[in-house]
Structures are given as structure tokens and as C-alpha cells.
Chains A and B, each alone.
Chain A
Amino acid sequence: MGQRVGIVATGQTRYRSKRKDCSAPDMVYEATSRALADAALTLKDIDAIIFGLAPEALDGINSMDKWCADAAGARNKPFMRVHTGGATGSSVANAAVYHVASGMFDTVLAVAMERVGETPDAQTILNRIYDPVVASDFGLNIINHVAMETSRGMEAYGFTEEHMAMISVKNHLNAFNNPYAHLQINVSVEDVLKSPVVCWPLKLLDCCPRSDGACAVVFASEKKAKRMAPVPVWVNGMAALTDITVPGEIRGGQEQIRLTAARAYQMAGIDHPREQIQVVECYAPFSSLELMYYETLGFCERKDVVKLVESGFGAMDGEVPFVPSGGVMCTNPIGATALIRIAEAAIQVMGKGEKRQVPDVTNALATGYGGSPGPGSASFVTVMVLGKK
């Protein structure tokens, strides 16, 4: 493998359902400048920029990366936009690692954003991700796909709507500790179960919000990283896998995540994730998806998932905290979301998590998910292992 690559800084905007206070470039600037400040860098230190933006129909501007390039400090610098749907943010991070590992650049800025608040209903646009000829007539969107996956999951894993509600309660509680989180609301199991059904078995409080926001992460070569950050965070393992799954099959996303994690673990030398990883920022916009990660990321067998949920395995005081940030369920600016997972995982390794800090983190895990099952359609999964060593 080429050069070792480290994360030296992160920057995030405050997430909101609509950041009425700023234009799209303003938002990018907010995240970028905070990332630079995090390691006391200036734009001069940045050799190249990779930009992430998911479907631009959500933002109402074609190739909006071009408009935001100046705000990312990309004038007269190498710049390109990556877009893999919901996995955009983590694909941007992967691209940044390749930029550095290639030996062509020392310091690279990854910045990703979305203004989901610009469109009245994101799911109308997300209906148009499906095949226009054979699949677009059936009202498909991400929520009803996940609803189908969840109903299959309930049979396969034996979890109930109550178990999903427990995850939702935990994540909403965590979000109070994250100064950037979009939703900061008190939620009880009862509240979740009584919230309106969006697509059975998903209820409103099982679902993520639509957020405006941007996130930036600075990656550097080994030599620079050691100089730039008191605690550089090393990218020890990373993998991405595109799968063409058969919609409706439980194999779908679950098997893809398992395969991707296995590759990243192998690269990072992780053979017992439950012992070796202290915190997980998984890409779970819906409560049901998070508990399935317990199995697919190798923390337990399928039959033990329910037991783990009931015992508070993923809570802040649990064995391995999942999404101390509140996760995607509380903040989802689509193109930035998977980069936020990596930023939050890096923050945990750096020890900068303040109220959301998990003690003694040496290895943290971040995942990304994009696309959707659908006829002939692809989904994109990424897994990154970050470490102190």
C-alpha cells in the first residue's frame, strides 16, 4: 500500500432543516474554515480539494460543486466532485486518501454538503433514482425500500417495533451531546411507537430528518500529519463495494455490508471487532438499519442482535457505543452524511468529543451507504477503520 494517510482536522456546520442564514457556498465555507482552524492551517497548506454533493436535484442547482468551489478554497487548485448518492461523503474521504497515498499531494481537503431543505419533498426526487422505464411508476423511494428491508429484517432477526424505538431513543439522547446535531429532542419509546406511521413498520421517529449542512475533513501524508496534529488519526483500513442486489431479498444490503467490512478489517488487522473497536459511527438513517449493523459489522451473531439491543450494547455507557453524535437519525444532509460519520469517528480518536467523547478510543469505525436496491440498480457501501496507531 502506498503512503500512510492520516486525518488531521475536521470542521462541521451547525445542521438545520433549513439554514436560512447562509447560501450554499457560505455553508461550504463555514465547514472548510472550521476544518482549517481545527489544525491551525491556512489555505496555502491545502494541495487539492475533493468535493461531495449527492443528487443536485435536491439542491436545485446543476453541478452545484462548481458554484461552491471558491468557498472550498479550490480556485487554482486541483478539484473534483465525487457523487455516489448517500455514500458520497465517504467516497469523498476515500478519494482524498487516494490523492495523498498516490504521493502526488501532501495535504488534501475533503468537503461535502447538501441543502436538502431547498426541495419541498426529497422523496419525490429520490423516486427518480429508480429505472425510468421499468420501475418509476410505483411510487418507489428510499423510505419505502427501507420499510421493505425492515419488514424482512423483523422476520430474520426477530426484532420488533419496540426494539427499533429503543435505538431511536438512544440516538436522540446522544444528539443532545453533539453541538452540531440537527434534531435535539426528547423522545421516549412510547413517543416513537405513537408517532405517525410513514411506511409500516417505519414511524416518523424511526426516520432521519432532512438537513442542510456541510462537513470538511483534512487528510495528510504521514510526515505532514505528525507535524499538523497532536493526535493524527490513521486510516488503517478502508473498503468500498458496489452491489447489484435483488430488491426484497434480505441478502441485499446486509451481505454487502458484511463483505465490505471484512475487507476493511483485513486491511486494518481487525479480527475481533467487538474487542478491538471502541466506537462506531454507522450510516443508519432509520432505526431498524442500526441494529442490523450489530451483526453485519461483526459485533455479534444474528441471533444475538435482539439481546444486545435490550442490554443497551450500543448506548453511551454500553459495551461499544454506536453513534455518540446522534447519527444520521438526527442529522442527514445527504451528500455530507457519510463524511460526518468519518469526521465524528476521527473526533473520537482525537479525544475531541467533549460531551459525546467515548473513553479510551484507539480504534473507531465509520460506514457509508448509498443507492438503493431496485431493479438492476446499485447500492454503494463503504467502511473505514480509523486508529490512534
Chain B
Amino acid sequence: MSDNIELLSIPGKWDLTYNYTAGETISKFLIEIRDNARIMATKCNQCNRVIVPPRSYCERCFISIKDNWVELEPTGTLEAYTIVTYKFEGLPDPPYIIGYFRLKGADTTIPHFLTGIDLSDLEFARKKIKVGLPVRLIFKNRGQREGRMTDFRIEPLQHDR
């Protein structure tokens, strides 16, 4: 075979529709956010863990914890974070901060964007963000909430303006 044969590839694109079922447990959680601006978690009475986003079961004790709800305060701490400065296809335009947040009283964390930080100077921003940073949840107004995790944003508890 010749050394300089033209090597071909053809384009392909996946554009598929899926409908992801939330189920009772997640539905209740999202509806509480939408209708009452409240964060509800499930609790395992065997290992005492409070799980949010809630699960209907405890994977450690392997029992159902479906109807054991507890309400969490809309505050918490930053557990880990990154400042994204690269443009990934289909993902938001950089820069932005993604963090894992532990809501007060929860044994698990939730992912979310950390907002309320000026990202025009990334060096400066990095100094302001620390693991353990106290944060609060700020819900959209009632009519704007649609039962998604994006119905609230998370920002530092103390704003230095």
C-alpha cells in the first residue's frame, strides 16, 4: 500500500432524546424547592446519615429510608471547588466556579456553582475562596422556580462589597 494514501473520516453526531424520571423521592425534593424554597433531605435512622440530594435508600445499611424526611437550613460550607477556565463543548463559558457544598446538618454534599465572587482577577478570587467558606442558598422568586437545582444559587454568606 502506498505511503501517502488519503486517510478519511466521516462526521457523526448524536442527538438523542431521553426523559429522565425523577421518581417520588427526587420529585418531592424538587417540588419542595419549587413551591416552598425548602431543601429537604432523607435520613437513615440506622447510620444516622442525612442525605441530600435525597435518596430513597441508604446504600450503606441497604434499607429504604424513603419517607424519613428532614428539612435543612439554606446554609452550609464549601467543601471543595474548582475555577474552570477552559471552554468545554456544551458546558458554560468560562470562567466559573464549581463547588461541592455541605449543607448544615447533611452528611453528603451537593454540586453547584459558587456565585457572588468577582472573577475578573482570578488570582485575587482564588485567595478569597477557601475550603470551609460559609455559604448561603438564594432562591429565585416563586414564579421563576421550576423544580430544578438551578432554582437557587449559592454565594458566600458574608459579602464584602
Contact = CB atoms under 8 A, between A and B. Distances in A.
Report if A and B touch in the complex (beta carbons < 8 A): yes
B20 A60 contact: no
A132 B20 contact: yes
A57 B89 CA distance: 14
A310 to B, nearest CB: 25
B114 to A, nearest CB: 10
B100 A247 contact: yes
Interface in A91-127: 120-121, 123-124, 127
A193 to B, nearest CB: 14
A132 B22 CA distance: 9
Contacts of B113: 138-139
B20 A247 contact: no
B102 interface: yes
Contact of A60 (B14, B112, B126): B14
B20 A133 contact: yes
B89 A248 contact: no
Contacts of A376: 53, 55, 59, 108
B84 A199 contact: yes
B148 A147 contact: no
A140 interface: yes
Contacts of A147: 82
Contacts of A130: 111
A248 B85 contact: no
Give the size category of A's interface with B.
35 or more
Nearest to A200: B83
A16 to B, nearest CB: 12
Contacts of A190: none
B127 to A, nearest CB: 12
Given A127-B90, A198-B85, A200-B82, A134 B26 contact: yes
A244 B108 CA distance: 11
B81 interface: yes
B80 A137 contact: no
Interface string B73-99: 000000111111110111110001011
Interface string A28-61: 0000000000000000000000000000010010
B53 A199 contact: no
A151 B133 CA distance: 14
Given A123-B91, A137-B149, A147-B82, 16 more contacts: A60-B12, A124-B90, A124-B91, A134-B26, A135-B53, A137-B150, A139-B88, A139-B92, A139-B98, A152-B79, A200-B83, A244-B59, A247-B79, A247-B80, A247-B111, A249-B80
Given A127-B91, A155-B131, A199 B82 contact: yes
Interface residues of B, number: 46
Interface of A: 20-21, 57, 60, 120-121, 123-124, 127, 130-135, 137-141, 143-144, 147-149, 151-152, 155, 196-200, 244, 246-249, 374-376
Given A132-B20, A248-B109, A137 B79 contact: no
B107 interface: yes
Contacts of B108: 246, 375-376
A152 B88 contact: no
Nearest 7 A-B pairs (CB), nearest first? A248-B79, A248-B100, A148-B80, A147-B82, A248-B80, A134-B53, A121-B89
A260 B102 CA distance: 27
Contact of A139 (B14, B30, B84): B84
B47 interface: no
Given A133-B22, A148-B80, A148-B100, A138 B112 contact: yes
B22 A148 contact: no
B111 A138 contact: yes
B109 A246 contact: yes
A20 B90 contact: no
Contact of B7 (A20, A134, A151): A20
Contacts of A133: 20, 22, 26, 30, 53
Contact of A198 (B59, B86, B110): B86
